[in-house]
Amino acid sequence: MSHDAQQKGSSLTLVLMVASAAIGGTLQYGYNLAIMNAPNTFIQTFINETFRERWAIQLEDFQVTLVWTIIVSIFSLGGLVGAIIAGPMSICFGRKKCLLLNNIFLLSGALLALTSRAARSIEMIILSRVLIGINAGISMNVQPMYFGESAPKHLRGAVSLSSAVFTSFGVVLGQVVGLREILGSESCWQYLLASNAIPGLIQLLTLPWFPESPRYLLIDRGDKEACINALRRLHGCEVESSELAEILEEQAETKGMKPCGPWELFRDRSVRWQLISIMVISSAMQLCGNDSIYFYASYVFKEAGISNEQIQYVTIGTGTCEFTACIMCNLLIERKGRRFMLTGGYILMTVWAVVFTIALSFEHLISWMPYLSMTCIFTYILSFGIGPAGVTGILPTEIFNQTARPAAYMIAGSMMWLNLFVVGMIFPFLVSTARQCCFVPFGSVCLLSALYVGLFLPETKGKSLSAITGEFHVLNFKNEEAHSSQIQYQMGEVCPSTAW
Ligand SMILES: *[C@@H]1O[C@H](CO)[C@@H](O)[C@H](O)[C@H]1NC(C)=O
Q: Which of 236-240, 299-303, 478-482 has the highest mean pLDDT?
A: 299-303
Q: Residue 38: phi, psi to the nearest 5?
A: -60, -50
The ligand 1 atom nearest the CA atom of 45:
14
For atom 11 of ligand 1, the residue with the nearest CA is 61
The whole-number pLDDT of residue 487 equals: 44
In this predicted structure, what is the pLDDT of residue 117?
A: 93
Residue 205 has pLDDT above 50, yes or no: yes
**What mean pLDDT do residues 97-102 have?**
93
Give the residue whose CA is nearest to atom 2 of ligand 1. Answer: 48
Whether residue 367 is predicted with pLDDT greater than 80 in this model: the reply is yes
The Cα 7–Cα 117 span in angstroms is 51
C-alpha–C-alpha distance, residues 400 and 194, integer Å: 37
**260 class by beta-carbon count within 10 Å (0-12 exposed, 13-18 middle, 19+ buried):** buried
Long-range contacts of 310-316 (CB under 8 A, 24+ apart): 312/38, 312/175, 312/178, 312/179, 312/180, 312/184, 314/374, 315/37, 315/175, 315/178, 316/172, 316/175, 316/176, 316/179
Report which residue type is found at 72. V
**Ligand 1 within 6 A of CB of 103:** no
- Say what the pLDDT of residue 492 is: 40
Angle at 305 between CA 299 and CA 307, to 5 degrees: 85
Cα angle 47, 49, 55; round to 5: 90
| Residue 485 confidence (pLDDT) | 45
Q: What is the pLDDT of residue 423?
A: 94
> pLDDT digits over 292-315, tens only?
988 898 888 888 888 888 888 888
Burial category of 308 from C-beta neighbours within 10 Å (exposed 0-12, middle 13-18, buried 19 and up) = exposed
212: left (phi over 0), alpha (psi -120 to 50) or beta: beta
Residue nearest to atom 14 of ligand 1 (CA): 45
Beta carbon of 49 within 6 Å of any ligand 1 atom = no
| Position 178 pLDDT exceeds 80 | yes
Residue 59 Cα: closest atom of ligand 1: 1
Long-range contacts of 229-236 (CB under 8 A, 24+ apart): 230/150, 232/10, 233/10, 233/13, 234/10, 234/13, 234/14, 234/17, 234/150, 234/151, 234/152, 235/10, 235/14, 235/152, 236/3, 236/6, 236/7, 236/9, 236/10, 236/11
Average pLDDT over residues 340-346: 93
For residue 297, the CA-to-ligand 1 centroid distance in Å is 22
- For residue 485, the CA-to-ligand 1 centroid distance in Å is 66
pLDDT, one tens digit per residue, over 444-457 is 999 999 999 999 88
- Tell whether ligand 1 has an atom less than 6 A from the beta carbon of residue 246: no
Span 141-154, mean pLDDT? 80
pLDDT at site 125: 96
Residue with CA at minimum distance from ligand 1 atom 9 = 61
- Which residue has better confidence, 388 or 490? 388
Q: Which has more confidence, 349 or 236?
A: 349
pLDDT, position 331: 83
User: What's the CA-to-centroid distance between 61 and ligand 1, angstroms?
Assistant: 7
When pLDDT is cut at 50, 70 and 90, the band that residue 478 belongs to is confident
Q: Is 40 in the pocket of ligand 1 (CB under 6 A)?
A: no
Whole-number pLDDT of residue 334: 77
Per-residue pLDDT band at 169 (split at 50, 70, 90): very high
Q: What separation in Å is there between the alpha carbon of 330 and the centre of ligand 1?
A: 47
Q: What is the pLDDT of residue 409?
A: 85
String of DSSP letters for 60-95: -HHHHHHHHHHHHHHHHHHHHHHHHHHHHHHHHH-H
Ligand 1: nearest atom to the Cα of 52: 2
- Judge contact between 177 and 195, C-beta under 8 A: yes
Residue 48 Cβ inside 6 Å of ligand 1? The answer reads yes
Query: How many whole angstroms from 48 Cα to the centroid of ligand 1?
Result: 6
Q: How far is the CA of 70 from the centre of ligand 1 (A)?
A: 18
Q: How far is C-alpha 127 from the chain's CA centre?
A: 22
Contact 453, 281 (CB under 8 A): yes
Q: Give the 3-state secondary structure of residue 196.
A: coil
Where are the domains positioned within the chain? 8-210+257-463
Local confidence band at 213 (pLDDT 50, 70, 90 cut-offs)? confident
Whether 152 has a pLDDT exceeding 80, the answer reads no
Q: Which atom of ligand 1 is nearest to the CA of 61?
A: 13
Q: What is the pLDDT of residues 406-435, one digit of tens each?
A: 788 889 989 999 999 999 999 989 988 888
Position 269 scores a pLDDT of 84
Per-residue confidence band for 238, with pLDDT thresholds at 50, 70 and 90 = low
Give me the mean pLDDT over the 311-339 stretch: 87
Band of pLDDT at residue 494, cut at 50, 70 and 90? very low
pLDDT of residue 496 exceeding 80 = no
Give the model's confidence band at 2: pLDDT under 50 very low, under 70 low, under 90 confident, else very high.
low
pLDDT above 90: percentage of residues in the chain = 44
Q: Which of 49-58, 104-113, 222-231 has the lowest mean pLDDT?
A: 222-231
pLDDT at 106: 95
Which pLDDT does position 281 carry in this prediction?
A: 94
Distance 60 CA to ligand 1 centre (A): 8
Give the chain's radius of gyration (CA, Å).
Answer: 23
The whole-chain average pLDDT of the chain stands at: 86
Ligand 1 centroid from CA 142, angstroms: 43
- Cα 43 to middle of ligand 1, angstroms: 12
Give pLDDT, residue 237.
61
CA distance 324 to 372: 20
Verify whether ligand 1 is closer than 6 Å to residue 66 (CB atom): no
Task: Specify the residue with its C-alpha closest to ligand 1, atom 1.
Answer: 48
Distance between CA atoms of residues 445 and 422, nearest Å: 14
59 C-alpha to ligand 1 centroid (Å): 8
User: Which of the residue ranges 35-44, 81-90, 485-494 would you say has the lowest mean pLDDT?
Assistant: 485-494
Residue 387 has pLDDT above 90, yes or no: no
Q: What is the CATH number of domain 8-210+257-463?
A: 1.20.1250.20
Averaged over 212-223, what is the pLDDT?
A: 83
pLDDT at 147: 82
